[in-house]
Amino acid sequence: MKGTTILAIRKDGKVVVAGDGQVTLGETILKHKARKVRRLYHNRVIVGFAGATADALTLFERLEKKLEEYGGQLVRAVVELAKDWRTERTLRRLEAMLIACDKNHMFLLSGAGDVMEPDEEVLAIGSGGSIALAAAKALLAHTDLSPREIAVEALKIAASICVYTNEQVVVEEL
């Protein structure tokens, strides 16, 4: 997925999801301060997306419905969303990836049916995702920064390298 960087970190009982604000169309920057990170289900779940905005918003709505259906159980909701995403013809064509987190779980979801929970307490997607992931891992291992500070610094590093990522960072924290 080109066009953004989303990073999730869990540390010291806190969960942070951060995303840059740049929206591009091809090689043209259209917007600098988009919100690609949102809260769902009574502010107990944070979701960030990379990919097509309309597709991601459709997935946000579907995830919100699944969370309502399963009483806020994120694990069950993301598994059921992934099943629908993979099997429903209208959803199969959606071009987006999601990170969904609550206090206890962190997941990456994709249209290929992936529901992955990382081994470590950090996860990233998007064009600058691997850069932000590497930066966050280094900062987690070698600094005493808060999760919010780590996320902002990691996204700044990604923005300095990835042309599809900017420094207009939105952070949500549980």
Residue 162 in marked binding region: yes
Q: Could you tell me where the DSSP H helices lie in the chain?
A: 53-69, 74-87, 89-92, 129-142, 147-161
Pairing of strands 96-101, 45-51: antiparallel
Between helix 129-142 and helix 147-161 the angle, nearest 10°, is 140
What secondary structure letter does DSSP report for 112? Answer: T
Residue 101 in marked binding region: no
Q: Which two tokens stand for residue 153?
A: 């610094």
Residue 143 in marked binding region: no
What is the set of active-site residues?
Answer: 4
Residues placed in the known binding site for Na(+) = 159, 162, 165
